[in-house]
Amino acid sequence: MNPAAFYPTATDYLRFLPELILTIGGVLLLVLEALTGDNKDKSSLGYLAIAVVLGAMFAVPVALANPGTSFNGMIVSDGFAAFFRMVTLLVGLFTLLCSTSYLSREKANTGEFYLLVLFSLAGQGIMAASNELIMVFLGLEIASISSYVLAGFLRDDKRGSEAALKYFLLGSFATAFLLYGISWIYGVTGATNLVAIRESLAAGTSGNSMAVAAAALMLIGLAFKVSAAPFQAWAPDVYQGAPAPVSGFLSAGPKAAAFAIFLRIFQTSFESFSSRYEPVLWILALATMLVGNFSALWQSNVKRMLAYSSIAHAGYVLVAVTTNSNVGTAAAMFYLAAYALMNFGAFAAVTHLAGRGESHVTIDDLKGLASKQPVVAGLLTVCLLSLTGVPLTAGFFGKFYIFKAAIDNHLYWLSALGLLNSAIAAYYYLRILAAMYMHEPKTTDHPEPVPGGIQLTMWFSAAGILTLGVFPGLVLDYANRFATFVK
């Protein structure tokens, strides 16, 4: 073929604009970090990174205005991709807002943190927009490798280093499964493009049982990334050991991006044998909800509890994935957006309350918070109520749409068991509320003022939770419109 056919056009770049901005911004930050010298507080680089993320957010509508595939079908710009780009960028923005003060407090405010966040966001954007298994792998690795370093960013912290090492080893292990699945698929169909794989499998010319085995391998790899049981073991240790803003980042951003490729691969390429993997997803969803919720009941460390709660929430999203329908996809999209707000809101509060060296992260440390810092306690309450799924919050509508989609698709048992699970979950969220409002403070020392970035994050997520709790249509209409994939 004429190589000129491979040259990208200007539109190709426009469809890829958010990731381009993030990459260029990250490289720029790397240069600035090297040139500004050692042992200084690099908050200014953090503000620059925030500007880069905002720029990428403005580029998302530009990419959406030019729908279609670019770079010979490697990347696709559609509403689904734009949605997940926006969710991951929002999580990235929150992370950066919370990190500047956190890193200054821990005396580790260097530019590398910010550029790693930018690179990870670029990887997540590629995941959201990838239309090709090689791009899926590349995006996943870019996002993951940056996350491994972020998890161990406080080098002198033993827990952080342990978290980074565990995350790295298990993450690479999971990626190996995914990659093995990709190579099987290539062997069976001779294609890595998602649409081409779908056509090859639907035509029935290639061995379908081998394709099922490949799908199973890829399912294992993706289940690791979204921390679905029984592949969830890394999540609690990593979220507990990593710096608090990073835990929030990991539990919301990469997870949303991993669900994006999960939905895209399984509903585009493997749709022809959806009846084969539906029971597997059914068990996976139930196991994830049960393991997450029952383990969270016994935790005394707030970060670890939120880690188990994030596993449970992955289980709810898996219920939506199990429905294998457009309604289910829309419900999953809505839930992941709502989850990003409420989970990061909670982690932002933990970031502030943990104190230097993260020495105050148990539920006991939250006792009497309502009388000491009523605003923080109030905003955290909104996030926790939303995580519980109380009406008038985004979490309620998230669960509502997921279980409605499940019932519409005749998954009655899974819906019933899922609802029971969210009732169990109420216990451990309410335990924190009880500690904050119904106990006397342990100490009488004056609370530190809440840094501006953390305040902004908490107010924004609480406002978002309540807005979506009253007007869920704002996001759901969009999700419904773009829940179909190009086939």
Partner 1 sequence: MLEGYLPLFVFLVLCIAFPLAALLVGKALRPSVFAPAKLESYECGIEAVGGARGRYSVRFYLVAILFVIFDVETVFLFPWAVRYKQLGWFGVAEALVFLGILVVGYVWAYKKGALEWV
Binding site for partner 1 (CB under 8 A): 3, 7, 27, 30-31, 33-35, 38
As a whole number of angstroms, the longest Cα–Cα distance in the chain is 75
Least distance between partner 1 and beta carbon 360 (Å)? 32
Nearer to partner 1, 38 or 445 (CB): 38
**Residue 109, both tokens:** 């405010």
Least distance between partner 1 and beta carbon 138 (Å)? 13
Residue 413's SS3 state is helix
CB atoms within 10 A of CB 290: 18
Least distance between partner 1 and beta carbon 5 (Å)? 11
Nearer to partner 1, 38 or 440 (CB): 38
Least distance between partner 1 and beta carbon 284 (Å)? 32
Least distance between partner 1 and beta carbon 23 (Å)? 8
End-to-end Cα distance, the chain: 25
CB atoms within 10 A of CB 386: 31
Contacts of 187 (CB under 8 A, 6+ apart): 210
Contacts of 191 (CB under 8 A, 6+ apart): 185, 197, 200
Nearer to partner 1, 31 or 375 (CB): 31
Nearer to partner 1, 30 or 75 (CB): 30
- Residues belonging to the chain: 487
Contacts of 470 (CB under 8 A, 6+ apart): 392
12, 292, 475, 479 from 336: Cα distances, Å = 28, 17, 11, 11
- HEC assignment per residue over 117-134: HHHHHHHHHHHHHECEHH
Least distance between partner 1 and beta carbon 25 (Å)? 12
Nearer to partner 1, 3 or 204 (CB): 3
Nearer to partner 1, 5 or 275 (CB): 5
Residue 70's SS3 state is strand
Nearer to partner 1, 34 or 438 (CB): 34
CA 190 vs. chain centroid, Å, equals 31
Least distance between partner 1 and beta carbon 119 (Å)? 11
Sign of CA dihedral 435, 244, 341, 221: negative
Burial (CB < 10 A; 0-12, 13-18, 19+), residue 162, is middle
Does residue 472 have a cis peptide bond before it, meaning omega lies within 30 degrees of 0? no
Least distance between partner 1 and beta carbon 54 (Å)? 23
Q: Tell me how far apart the alpha carbons of residues 41 and 263 are, in angstroms, rounded to a whole number.
A: 41
Nearer to partner 1, 21 or 30 (CB): 30
Rounded to 5 degrees, φ, ψ at 76 are -125, 135
Return the residue matching tokens 């993030």.
22
Least distance between partner 1 and beta carbon 200 (Å)? 15
Nearer to partner 1, 27 or 430 (CB): 27
Nearer to partner 1, 31 or 470 (CB): 31
Task: Please answer whether residues 218 and 178 qualify as being in contact, where contact means their C-beta atoms are separated by less than 8 angstroms.
Answer: yes
Least distance between partner 1 and beta carbon 34 (Å)? 4
